[in-house]
Structure 1
Amino acid sequence: MDQSHTLYAAFAAKIDAALAALEKEAVLPPHATRGSVSVEPPRDPSHGDLATNAAMVLAKEAKTNPRALAEHIVAKLTGDPLVTSAEIAGPGFINLRLAPANWLSELHAIAELGADYGRSTMGAGRTVNVEYVSANPTGPMHMGHCRGAVVGDALAALLEFAGHRVVREYYVNDAGAQVQTLARSAHLRYREALGEDIGEIPAGYYPGDYLKPIGERLAQEFGPAYVAAPESEWLDMFRQRAVVAMMEMIRADLALLGIHHDVFSSEAELQAAKKPEQAEAWLRQHDLVFDGQLEAPKGKTVEDWEPVELPLFRSTRFGDDQDRPIRKSDGNWTYFGADLAYHMQKAQGADELIDIWGADHSGTVKRIKAAVAALSEGEGKPIPFDVKLVQMVQLLRGGEPVKMSKRSGTFITIADMVEEVGKDVVRFTMLTRKPEAQMDFDFAKVVEASKDNPVFYVQYAHARIHSTLRKAGAEGIVPSADALARLGEDELALVKFAAQFPREVEAAAKAREPHRIAFYLYDLAAEFHAFWNLGNDDPAKRIILTQDRELTAARLFLAAQIGQVIRNGLALLGVQAVEEL
């Protein structure tokens, strides 16, 4: 079955056909703009099953009022045997009530499409580069990286499911002062591995025990050759080897979360290839970079601050409060300057760019977006570029803050978290809030078996469905679509909610908000649990009725398809659906 035959897509096609007919009848002008026409559930379910804004959107082009146009559209729809009523509401919305056959057809669609139910062609194969994590390669992955990693990975999966070609990218910051400090810290551990008592790690160095294995590797490779050698002889070599070892550790940490990138781009290689110089030359040609002096920092006087001429990007043209340097006074590139070149490189292989950043980078967003817009337009290929900001996570245990880690000595690592509560709990929990909202991650709460724990609540719905299927199977009853016509209003209400999944996928992908899928799954689980609980009050509402095997088989078919939708949604979040708890 083609995905376009799922219910919302099918009715969008029906309305489109009605509008096309009205064009032929000259009620609508030729080629009326239909891009903003929507088909969705009405806000109040009592108003019907579907609502469309077609008349509201197209009335101006039709040179009439929305209600008058709505009457023409309603006339086209009321003859459809799958529409039981079409009513005009308010200023011109159209509410539709659908025949039960629609919902039974949707159950068949879920069963036939299986893992592809909800998949969309909306992205039309456009290439989207999603850059996420990109942590400095100076230590193991910690909680400061976790939320952005999960959001980025879920967004990449969502966009792929919605028809985009996705490139998952990690930008390795292997140039600059921090990786030089890493090299010096590795040199200390190298000397320690050779038997030297290095004493207390100096302030500013990386103190974690995770550097000990790197020191041991360096000692095995070089012996004592660089113990007393001047820094100039070993710094760059130790930096390269330390970064390689750190990236191996980071990849392993991310793999614990089920995260794998397609591309790892090196800042050092970018600079060696003179990409920042190329970006600067283009920006100068277009008067977007000039040589000038920064204003004195607030609180500084002329006596304790010396103005220096630097190449400045004209970020004030784009709403920034001052122009920003792309190089430092020593000639090295600023983070901003290097980022410009990196984004220019990414834009050459993508139709769209998305970056997932920590909220502490919010001040950089406007100027980097402005610079990328200028560069991509100059190349003749304007590239949409979006930055998603992710707030930090506060770690708690029973409401009390958690700070220490066995592995790093200073912070909780991703490995610590996954070891304690599991990959699926971490991933789902990270998507239970909007990324821009603050989040608490309480080790006690996320494993709690209660409705207040979304991870448990959704997984419990899936496990409950499988438990029911197993129990019925023991009675010799299997799911069957033969008697779906016997399903009543309560069952159809559940199908109606499940049928929203394809449009939720498209809406979430369009908004670049994977957390919408987690929210939807929680609501779907709530609908299923409510349906299940009907049987507690009325035995005739139970899924398994041994005295009515035909109706039981139909209800099992329904339950199996709800389980399929839950699995599909969890798969987008990178979470395995469990069959028992």
Structure 2
Amino acid sequence: MHLFTDIRTLVLQSLDTLVAERVLPGGLEMRNVTVEPPRDAAHGDMATNAAMVLAKPAGMKPRDIAEALAGKLAADDRIDSADVAGPGFINLRLSAETWRGVIRGIVAAGAGYGRSDVGAGRKVNVEYVSANPTGPLHVGHTRGAVFGDALASLLDFTGHAVTREYYINDGGGQVDVLARSVYLRYLEAHGQKVAFEEGTYPGDYLIEVGQALKDKVGDAFLDKGEQFWLAEVRDFATDAMLEMIRADLAQLGVEMDVFYSEKSLYGSGRIEEAIAELRSKGLIYEGTLEPPKGKTPEDWEPRVQTLFKSTEFGDDVDRPVMKSDGSWTYFAPDIAYHYDKVSRGFDELIDVFGADHGGYVKRMKAAVAALSDSKVPLDIKLMQLVKLRRGEEELKMSKRAGTFVTLRDVVDLVGPDVTRFVMLTRKNDAPLDFDVEKVTEQSKENPVWYVQYAHARIASVLRKAAEAGISADDAVLAEADLCAISDPAELALAAKLAEWPRLVEIAAQTHEPHRVAFYLYDLASEFHALWNKGNADPSLRFLQEDDETATLAKSALIRAVAVVISGGLGILGVTPLNEMR
């Protein structure tokens, strides 16, 4: 059930009638005709731009089209009024029975309400987190993990075939640093005093790893040069870090479908294959780059490198894929990795990166466009920084990590539900202040509590109805007489519920799961406002003493609210509570 789609269908059918009656010429393109909520709610329930977008191709004045179309729309039982505004917009007010129909439809559909097939089974790869396997996930990774996971759920909710993927950056020099750091902890486990030099990882999280290495190999690596132990310790340490990362993600309720190793690209021929593909398209050449803009480094000198013509796909400069010494640049395995994604048959790729990867966006999009012949879009979402605070105090360090606040620290402080919801209370490209005191308050200022409280209040009402002997299961509510739903506040709440399928589709199309969090907060606000009105006006209370028909009608309304809140929280990965503790 998608009321906005239904009313748009009515608009298109009415336009077809006007064409048949020769009020409008035939052959008009209707694709840009929309039905949306008006900018000002006082103007009506919905508005259509049909007259505005068809006026020029029809060779008519917008208002003439609008007046003819409004007459057709007003004849439909679902429409109370169709008023022409301004140069030709049509504002629609829907009947009370239409809103009651929304309530019935939601209760009947249950968890399926709002789901759609707009994705048409398109295969989408969502890559997120992808932190270096050198330590626990920090608060910045947490935001990316929540965003990516919610986006994947949102796409699944709207009919996409989604793969959640973690790219393990285990091919660079940072894993050698990890191995050396673990070796120091290994020496400590043998009772030796060690010094962590700058560039190593001194966090306490490696103490257990060093001990585990000792348990495995005993004293085999003592007093040995790193040529004897580096490769083995690197693999051991990387595996240990990945186990830690998986455990961190599990704390947040995040499960990946694929963990893809960067290291697997080296020596497998896959990097060479990807670069050969670009070369076959005339996009690889030997050349010299211009010096960096601004102040040129003293040690900069022009040198011939193997370059990718990324400027042909919107990048600012061409990008090196091989250094003058014949080794691959960091960009080369990333090209190969995305070539692998394209080869796996994905219709769309989404990468969730940290804010510090902004300079990587154009080159990565250029590579995917080149490799896929511009058939596979790549959307890169940059996650801005998170400031973790306790009131006025900024939290900057973790006892466990030594230099930063970890994901586990945040979850331990406020729980996974609060963590996930709050991380989605800002758009991904906006900085986020996360106040651990504020987000645990029981007030309207705490959005996750406010939404969960709405769901818990509804569950409480329905329990009390059952205790009063009123059978309020979904099958009964879907068939209930809803005439008692007539107050403007009740109908406005039903109208808000009708926006859910449209909101979900827009959020999926724009890759913006924060829209779901915003909507849920607004829906909860309208529910709580209606609850409060019931305190002053007994006729608005959800349980109507000695009037089972009215109680069932109002129970159906709030059950519909609970269905939507539960569905929305499910997308965000947050638990819909039945009671608050």
Q: Same fold (TM over 0.5)?
A: yes
TM-score tier by shorter-chain length is over 0.9
> Aligned-pair RMSD on alpha carbons?
2.0
1:260 aligns to what? Answer: 255
CA distance, structure 1, for counterparts of residue 387 and residue 74 of structure 2: 54
TM-score by length of 1: 0.94
1:474 aligns to what? Answer: 467
2:507 aligns to what? Answer: 508
Per the alignment, in what secondary structure is the counterpart of residue 302 of structure 2?
coil
8 Å contact kept, 2:534–2:541: yes
Once the 2 structures are TM-superposed, how far is the Cα of residue 38 of structure 1 from its aligned partner?
Answer: 1.6
Once the 2 structures are TM-superposed, how far is the Cα of residue 501 of structure 1 from its aligned partner?
Answer: 0.6
Once the 2 structures are TM-superposed, how far is the Cα of residue 518 of structure 1 from its aligned partner?
Answer: 0.4
CA distance, structure 1, for counterparts of residue 369 and residue 26 of structure 2: 35
Give 1:284-303 correspondences, 5 Å limit. 284-297=279-292, 299-300=295-296
1:191 aligns to what? Answer: 187
Once the 2 structures are TM-superposed, how far is the Cα of residue 328 of structure 1 from its aligned partner?
Answer: 3.3
2:518 aligns to what? Answer: 519
TM-score by length of 2: 0.94
Q: 1:308 to 1:105 in 2, by over 3 A?
A: same
Structure 1, 434-443 or 549-558: larger mean CA deviation:
549-558
8 Å contact kept, 1:394–1:439: yes
Deviations, residues 519-538 of structure 1 (Å, cap 9, x unaligned): 00010011011111112222
Deviations, residues 117-142 of structure 1 (Å, cap 9, x unaligned): 10011111111111110000000111
2:527 aligns to what? Answer: 528
Per the alignment, in what secondary structure is the counterpart of residue 394 of structure 1?
strand
Paired letter, 2:506: A
Per the alignment, in what secondary structure is the counterpart of residue 85 of structure 1?
strand
Once the 2 structures are TM-superposed, how far is the Cα of residue 143 of structure 1 from its aligned partner?
Answer: 0.5
CA distance, structure 1, for counterparts of residue 491 and residue 360 of structure 2: 49
Q: 1:33 to 1:236 in 2, by over 3 A?
A: farther
8 Å contact kept, 2:177–2:200: yes
2:207 aligns to what? Answer: 212
Per the alignment, in what secondary structure is the counterpart of residue 326 of structure 1?
strand
CA distance, structure 2, for counterparts of residue 331 and residue 190 of structure 1: 35
The aligned length equals: 572
Matching of residue 459 in structure 1 with residue 458 in structure 2:
no
Per the alignment, in what secondary structure is the counterpart of residue 121 of structure 1?
coil
CA distance, structure 1, for counterparts of residue 204 and residue 9 of structure 2: 61
Once the 2 structures are TM-superposed, how far is the Cα of residue 319 of structure 1 from its aligned partner?
Answer: 5.0
Paired letter, 1:383: V
1:446 aligns to what? Answer: 439
CA distance, structure 2, for counterparts of residue 123 and residue 24 of structure 1: 33
CA distance, structure 1, for counterparts of residue 392 and residue 465 of structure 2: 42
CA distance, structure 2, for counterparts of residue 8 and residue 119 of structure 1: 14
Once the 2 structures are TM-superposed, how far is the Cα of residue 564 of structure 1 from its aligned partner?
Answer: 1.1
CA distance, structure 1, for counterparts of residue 340 and residue 275 of structure 2: 13
8 Å contact kept, 2:306–2:324: no
2:339 aligns to what? Answer: 344
Matching of residue 179 in structure 1 with residue 175 in structure 2:
yes
From 88, 93, 111, the equivalent of 2:89 is 93
State percent identity of aligned pairs. Answer: 54
Deviations, residues 213-251 of structure 1 (Å, cap 9, x unaligned): 222332232222222333223222221221111111111
1:487 aligns to what? Answer: 485
8 Å contact kept, 1:110–1:117: yes
Residue segments in structure 2 that go unaligned for 5+ positions in a row: none
Per the alignment, in what secondary structure is the counterpart of residue 419 of structure 2?
helix
Q: 1:145 to 1:188 in 2, by over 3 A?
A: same
CA distance, structure 2, for counterparts of residue 53 and residue 383 of structure 1: 32
CA distance, structure 2, for counterparts of residue 222 and residue 422 of structure 1: 38
Deviations, residues 562-581 of structure 1 (Å, cap 9, x unaligned): 11111111111010011111
2:573 aligns to what? Answer: 574
CA distance, structure 1, for counterparts of residue 176 and residue 63 of structure 2: 69
1:161 aligns to what? Answer: 157
2:319 aligns to what? Answer: 324
Paired letter, 1:518: A
Structure 1, 470-479 or 162-171: larger mean CA deviation:
470-479
Per the alignment, in what secondary structure is the counterpart of residue 272 of structure 1?
coil
From 304, 308, 322, the equivalent of 1:309 is 304
Structure 1, 531-540 or 507-516: larger mean CA deviation:
531-540
Matching of residue 335 in structure 1 with residue 330 in structure 2:
yes
Give 1:337-376 correspondences, 5 Å limit. 337-348=332-343, 349-376=345-372
8 Å contact kept, 2:484–2:554: no
Once the 2 structures are TM-superposed, how far is the Cα of residue 93 of structure 1 from its aligned partner?
Answer: 1.6
8 Å contact kept, 1:28–1:61: no
1:409 aligns to what? Answer: 402
Paired letter, 1:291: E
8 Å contact kept, 1:7–1:102: no
Per the alignment, in what secondary structure is the counterpart of residue 372 of structure 2?
helix
Matching of residue 118 in structure 1 with residue 114 in structure 2:
yes
Paired letter, 1:77: L
8 Å contact kept, 1:478–1:556: no
Matching of residue 230 in structure 1 with residue 225 in structure 2:
yes
Per the alignment, in what secondary structure is the counterpart of residue 484 of structure 1?
coil
1:563 aligns to what? Answer: 562
Structure 1, 404-413 or 304-313: larger mean CA deviation:
304-313
2:418 aligns to what? Answer: 425
Deviations, residues 174-208 of structure 1 (Å, cap 9, x unaligned): 10110111111122222333x14142222211111
